[in-house]
Structure 1
Amino acid sequence: MTLVDGNALAGDLAEVLGGDATSARLRCSGCGTTGLLAVTRVHRTAMGSVARCRGCDTVLVTVVDAGASLWVGMPGTRAVATA
């Protein structure tokens, strides 16, 4: 497993969140903190990526590239602001 920051998800999430996805603000459902996707902690494996809240470690975003489909989950994200 490789640990990187939220900038690693920029390309994958550009289609979902538009333009520069790293500037999207996410509100954590675990602790209520709002922060940029770019500063989340992202765990990457061959199976996909998991972005976690720096405040409480809640899983904010999951990304799985299944070839023909890109699966994006936001289980711990209460809200997203893109502008």
Structure 2
Amino acid sequence: MTHTPDHLDGNAAAGDLESLFGADMTTASAQCRGCGRRTRLAEAHAYLGGPGTVLRCPGCQGVLLRLVRSPRDVWLDAAGMDHLRLPAPA
């Protein structure tokens, strides 16, 4: 029996993140508050099956970011990151 992961890579969250930040966030890098690993958001583990989007650290599985949309609001929790680094536009 083959094990299939229950997550996608962070590219699966690209559309939601770009609509919020106005930039391609898959090239952004984050440092996990839990284990200190630096990773591009494209490499994070994306979980899209719940009421929102969750990105987890590929090292320790700590939650990096949660994004939930309601009819009136967008909720963003990025408390799992020490920082988020975006490439400067050319």
TM-score w.r.t. the length of structure 2 is: 0.82
CA RMSD of aligned residues (A): 1.4
Which shifted more, 26-35 or 37-46? 37-46
Higher strand fraction: Structure 1 or Structure 2?
1
Which aligned runs of 4 or more in structure 1 are off by greater than 4 angstroms? none
Distance 1:21 1:41 in 2: 14
- Report whether the alignment pairs 1:49 with 2:53: yes
User: How many residues align structurally?
Assistant: 82
Structure number with the bigger relative contact order (C-alpha 8 A, sep ≥ 6) is 1
Aligned counterpart, 1:78: 82
Residue deviations 1:16-36 (CA, integer Å, cap 9, x gap) = 444111111000001111110
Could you tell me which runs of 5 or more consecutive residues in structure 2 were left unpaired when the two chains were aligned.
Answer: 1-5
Residue deviations 1:26-71 (CA, integer Å, cap 9, x gap) = 0000111111000100111240111100100110000101123221
TM-score w.r.t. the length of structure 1 is: 0.88
Q: In structure 2, give the amino acid aligned to 1:52.
A: R
Name which one, 1 or 2, has greater alpha-carbon Rg: 2
